[in-house]
Amino acid sequence: MIKQLNKGLGIWQILSSNLITDIIGSSGFDLVIFDLEHGLHNPETIQSCLFAAKASSLFTVARVPTHKYQNIVQLIDTGIDAILFPHVETKEQLDLIIDSALLAPYGEKSFSPFVPRFKYKNNPIESPNPSIGVLIESKLGIKNAELILKNSNIDFIYFGAYDLSVELKKPGKIFDPEIVNLLSELIICCKKANKKIMAIYRTNDELKILLDMGINFPIASVDTSQLEVKLREESRNYNSNSN
């Protein structure tokens, strides 16, 4: 699972087409995060995208919209590598997450062997549970990070810079010094707890900052944003050359 992936490049996928997943895999990325909170995904589209991801050996993560996502069992049974839970701030929230996402003896998730995760048959595998990640995206979450990271079932953290920027009344300024300082605090906690950490960037300068800070998985923004940037660049090129 993610423990075998020490570092790598990731991207958010909002668009629910398996062609987008195939393009991401063909472009040299190491992981993709399917977004069920702000994106167009559901368990059926995730299943379709997973087939494309596996062809490129992409590590797959699904971000669910809530701690109590009603389709969590279906989502895990697709064979997704990891589940990312949003807005985690307390140990109590974490306990509920573990119960819903992991099989006994760790949690209380129901089990069926006749799903893609188990190759449609009673086929025990070495890691029947997905990796578990939590989004820490508030000052309270960072304050409680050390306690949250003590849970051995947590494999990785995603630093939620955008929600933090809104809380700090600096919407969108995700590399503001105050936010970078909070990220530094979280990185220290992750290193102490031997957990991986992800964070988003938008420019090459921001990527260098994250790598220098010790981020394991820099996330290259979002598929829609990357598409818009490239298309706008082509539009500018055309306009400048056609005048």
Lookup: tokens for 225 = 């944003």
Q: Which of 64, 127, 53, 135 is nearest to 100 (CA)?
A: 64
Torsions phi, psi of 227, nearest 5? Answer: -65, -45
Q: Tens digits of per-residue pLDDT, 110-164?
A: 999 899 998 888 766 767 899 999 999 999 999 999 999 999 999 999 999 999 9
| Residue 28 amino acid letter | G
Q: Tens digits of per-residue pLDDT, 3-38?
A: 567 899 999 999 999 999 999 999 999 999 999 999
- Look at the block and give the residue holding tokens 């991401």: 24
pLDDT in the model for residue 241? 92
Question: Is residue 23 exposed (0-12), middle (13-18) or buried (19+ Cβ within 10 Å)?
Answer: middle
Judge whether 196 and 202 are in contact, CB under 8 Å: no
pLDDT in the model for residue 5? 78
Q: Tens digits of per-residue pLDDT, 84-101?
A: 999 999 989 999 999 999
Q: How far apart are CA 207 and CA 200, in angstroms?
A: 8
* Cα separation values, 175 from 164, 207, 208, Å: 11, 11, 12
Q: Tens digits of per-residue pLDDT, 205-241?
A: 999 999 999 999 999 999 999 999 999 999 999 999 9
Q: How confident is the model at residue 62 (pLDDT cuts 50, 70, 90)?
A: very high
94-122: string of b/e by CB count within 10 Å (b at 16+)? beebbebbbeeeebebeeeeebebbeeee
Q: How far apart are CA 144 and CA 156, in angstroms?
A: 15
Torsions phi, psi of 131, nearest 5? Answer: -65, 150
Give the domain range for residue 222.
2-242
Look at residue 59 and tell me whether its pLDDT is greater than 80. yes
Q: How far apart are CA 181 and CA 183, in angstroms?
A: 5
Give the CATH number, domain containing residue 11: 3.20.20.60
Judge whether 34 and 61 are in contact, CB under 8 Å: yes
Judge whether 92 and 68 are in contact, CB under 8 Å: no
Per-residue pLDDT averaged across 57-64, rounded?
A: 96
pLDDT in the model for residue 2? 64
Regarding pTM above 0.85, the answer is yes
Q: How many domains, in total, are found in the chain?
A: 1
